[in-house]
Amino acid sequence: MDVVSYLARIGLDASPAVNNDGLRRLQLAHLLAVPFENLHIARRQPLSLDRGKLYEKIVEKRRGGICYELNGLFAELLEALGFQVERLSARVFSQSEGTHGRPRDHLCLRVVLEGTPWLVDVGFGRGFRSPLRLDTRDWQDDPEGRFRVLPEGEELALERADGGGEPTPVYLLDPREDLALEAFEEMCLHHQTSRDSHFTLGPLCSIARADGRDSLRDGVAVRERGGRRDERQLASEAEVWGWIRDEVGLE
C-alpha cells in the first residue's frame, strides 16, 4: 500500500484528517475517480481479492472494479490513514425479483469515528456520495437522493427516496460481524460465473461526475448532467468498448 500513490489516484495531494470531513472527502474523491465496472468479468478474466493485485489493478493500472475490489482496497487505505474500519456483509435488493440476495452478496464498510458508526461504500455504482450515519433512523440528504437506515430483524435496511417518491430498498447489511476480505471469495466467484448474476450479462460501467454521472448497462450509455438525462443505444460491441475508452478512460 503506497498511500501517496493511492491518494494521487483519487485526486488528493495530501492525507485528509481522520474525522468526519476527512472521511467524506475520501469517499467522494474515490467515487469521482474510480469507476464501478465489471470489465474483467465481461472479458472472462478472473478477479482476484489479493491485496497486491487489487492495488495493481485499481491504483497502478487505473482501473475500477466491483464491490469486493473497490471497498476491499478502500478499507486498506482507510486503515493505513488511521481510520477504524469494519467489513460488513450486505444483501442487495433486486427490483426485478422483489427479494434480497444471498449473504455476502455485497461488501460495504462501517467506519467508527469518536463512537459514531458511519456506513461507507465506494463499490455500489449509484450509491450515496457521503458516508451515512448508522445510529439514526432519520432521512439523510445526499446528492444522489435521500437515504435512511432502519432495523429489520438482526440486519439494517438501507432505503432510498428520490424526488419525494416512495422509499425503495437498497440493501440489507449485517452489522454483527466484521469479516475478513477472504470471507467474500465464494460470492465473488459466484458473481463472475453464475447466470443469476447481472455481472455476467455484459459490460457495465458507472462513474460519478461532479454534476452527474456517466453509466453503461445493457448496451445503453447514459449521460446525466445538471438534472438532464440523455440515453444512447450503442449498436455494436465495438461501440460499447469505444464508449468505455472515450467516456470513462479505461483501456
The active-site residue, picked from 105, 106, 108, 191, is 106
- The answer to whether residue 163 scores a pLDDT higher than 80 is no
Domain 3-202: give its CATH code. Answer: 3.30.2140.20
Bridge-based pairing of strands 168-173 and 84-94 is antiparallel
pLDDT at 178 over 80: yes
pLDDT at residue 146, rounded to an integer: 95
- How confident is the model over 15-35, as a mean pLDDT? 98
Q: How high is the pLDDT of residue 192?
A: 96
- Compute the average pLDDT of residues 180-195: 97
Does the active-site annotation cover 67?
yes
The pLDDT of residue 1 is 85
- In 3D space, the residue among 144, 104, 130 whose CA is nearest the CA of residue 28 turns out to be 130
| Residue of 105, 108, 121, 205 marked active site | 121
Question: All 3 cell numbers of residue 62?
Answer: 487505473
Is residue 138 annotated as part of the catalytic site, yes or no? Answer: no
pTM: 0.96
In this prediction, residue 95 carries a pLDDT of 84
Question: Can you give the pLDDT at residue 125?
Answer: 87
Percent of the chain's residues with pLDDT above 90: 92
- The single residue of 30, 40, 67, 188 carrying the catalytic annotation is 67
DSSP letter (8 states) at residue 244: I
For the chain, the domains span 3-202, 203-251
Please give the pLDDT value at position 40: 96
- Would you call 218 a catalytic residue per the annotation? no
